[in-house]
Chain A
Amino acid sequence: MNRHRTLETLVKETLETEPSPAEREAAWQSIIARLSDGEASDAAPNLGLVRRHPRLPHPAVVGVAVGAVVLAALALLPANQTPRGPLPTPHEPRAPLPTGSSAEAAAVLNATASSTRSALPAVGPGEYLFTRISMTLRGEGAANSVTRSWSAIDGSALIVERFASTRPCPPGRRAARCWRFDTSTTRYRASSDVGELRTEDGREMPVRPEPFSTWRAVVSGEQIVRLPAERDTLLASLRAGAGRAAAEHRKRPDPHRNLGGRDMRLLRIKLYGHDLLVVDTVTRMLVDAPLNPDQRAAMLSLLADAPDWYRPGSGAEPLQIRNLGPTKDALGRDGTAVQVGGADLVLDVDAGRLLEIRAYEHGRDAQPITLTVEAQRVVDSTTGESRRRHA
């Protein structure tokens, strides 16, 4: 022991432990899961993931997750950011098309709009739109949640989500090992916009739709049948809804302030304007709202026109849409990717369907959060997803 060291070196040599990449990743996953759960506080701020109604210690309803994710990506990325290198899809690496392909993007969206009329029939009285969505965080290949939803045109809905998350561990167990699966059920009744949520352990609580959480914050369940299919009136109606939702949200007591934080939803609306909420709502409705074929087509056309009507807020850039060309979704289905702001929509143009949303939460060169619409059809009961409608 012929060494002279400083006290600090000596202590470092004795005590210091280098983190491993696995520990770094496991800790991040646990942070994400806990912030998404609102576990630490209501402030769970700019986490675009699975943000729900405050104080709900249960996993997200994907209806909620969908838009939150999309929004985060929209809000975070500069609209004109170009992908560097191949798109980070595990399926088919591909060089990006040159910029300026927004006309192509509009063409793809409009083509999907015209074929979407025959994609799904309108949901009739007593029927439901059934949707199964899987969500993968950070593209690890394993679904972090699977959500089944049944939505009726009178505004009633049943949403069942199975969600995997990390939880505080019993002593002696590695945090990364403490995965837990929760199933939650949210029910919306025809007359009310407040959902009733029931967790796996039997707790029940109300879920008030919030901006950037679910389309229901902007378009109430009862309004959905009256939603116009004509572009300008549809846009006006959605803008009015977005304004209402923002005002409503502003009126509520702000739990974030008590904790010294800030409400990122309000901040986003302030920075990015109401139209970000409109785009978010449109994208979210395309995933699981019981739209009739005309309404669905109008929604897609609205996205195609977005660069024309989108008014960015004080802190944002214009919305950009770009055609990214052919791709495959997580289930291996062929589709065409269109970038709308910070998220990519994978569309089956011929079938007129939205297959997948890839939200680039961590920037374009990181793995996206992927929401895959695995199945969607009109059914006549919520008891079995396999009972098809034979109209």
Chain B
Amino acid sequence: MAWPQTSERGERARTDAQLLVDGTSGLRILYERHFDALFRYAAGRVGRQAAEDVVAETFVIAFSRPAAFDPSHTSALPWLVGIATNLLRSQRRAERKHLATDPYLIDLSGPPDLGLEDTISRADAAAVRGAVMRAVRRLPPSERDAFLVHALAGLDGAELGVALGVSASAAAVRLHRARTKLRTTLEPTLRRLGGGLI
């Protein structure tokens, strides 16, 4: 199928690599494809205000250097996440501050997925959030990068490697270490609160 039928303004058919060199309309479509994932990732790390700037900067850099994208990759998301991750390295303080937010004050936007109605379970949830943030904060930077790219941007395997700028196996090692550490730190808290990790 050469130039397939139009679905969603006919743009789904174009690959990320094509969109990147296809003028502003192409860039806009690329942006629509990946903004949400990138924002969730950045906002999860530094909070939504700083995330807006990080994401904008990421796209500015990406759009300025289309040749830096390897067109053999299907999705540009790992590449974009990699750029964002590099930018986030200069935001360590913002990240620490974000992870040190009082867990009782966090305003979870959207439906409270924890389904907690009474004060006790709210407090429990806040305790879990506090524990998670502490545990993530204590990870070494490279492992924190690996774990958060995996958890927040949903990247795995080779794509995780692309985002971190290392081989797939090195990325897998980092991810494994991060998960082991988090598991060790978090299990006791969760068990105490009647939950656990799968």
Contact = CB atoms under 8 A, between A and B. Distances in A.
Nearest to B69: A260
Interface in B18-71: 21-28, 31, 35-36, 39-40, 43-45, 47-49, 51-53, 55-57, 59-61, 63-68
A16 B40 contact: yes
Q: Is the interface of A mostly helix, strand, loop or mixed?
A: loop
A358 to B, nearest CB: 14
Interface string A352-365: 00000000011101
Interface in A69-105: 72, 75-77
A44 B24 CA distance: 11
A264 B46 CA distance: 35
Given A1-B195, A45-B66, A362 B60 contact: no
A290 to B, nearest CB: 30
A34 B150 CA distance: 30
Interface residues of B, number: 64
Interface in A1-30: 1-8, 10-19, 23-24, 26-28, 30
B182 interface: yes
A306 to B, nearest CB: 21
Contacts of B113: 13
Interface residues of A, number: 58
A175 B53 contact: yes
A10 B193 CA distance: 14
A7 B53 contact: no
Contact of B53 (A28, A44, A168): A168
B195 A3 contact: yes
B168 interface: no
Contact of B22 (A16, A76, A176): A76
Interface in A262-321: 262, 267
Contact of B56 (A5, A34, A260): A34
What secondary structure prevails in chain B residues at the interface with A?
helix
Given A12-B151, A13-B114, A31 B179 contact: no
Contacts of B174: none
A242 interface: no
Contacts of A17: 39-40, 43-44, 47-48, 51, 109
Contacts of B56: 27, 30-31, 34, 175
B37 to A, nearest CB: 10
24 contacts: A1-B195, A2-B194, A4-B198, A5-B198, A12-B152, A14-B128, A15-B136, A16-B44, A17-B40, A17-B43, A17-B109, A18-B36, A18-B40, A23-B39, A41-B61, A41-B64, A43-B66, A44-B63, A47-B23, A76-B23, A261-B65, A262-B21, A362-B24, A363-B25
Interface of A: 1-8, 10-19, 23-24, 26-28, 30-32, 34-35, 39-41, 43-49, 72, 75-77, 168-169, 172, 174-176, 259-262, 267, 361-363, 365-366
Given A12-B151, A26-B52, A34-B56, 10 more contacts: A1-B128, A4-B196, A6-B198, A27-B52, A41-B64, A77-B25, A259-B64, A260-B65, A261-B66, A362-B28
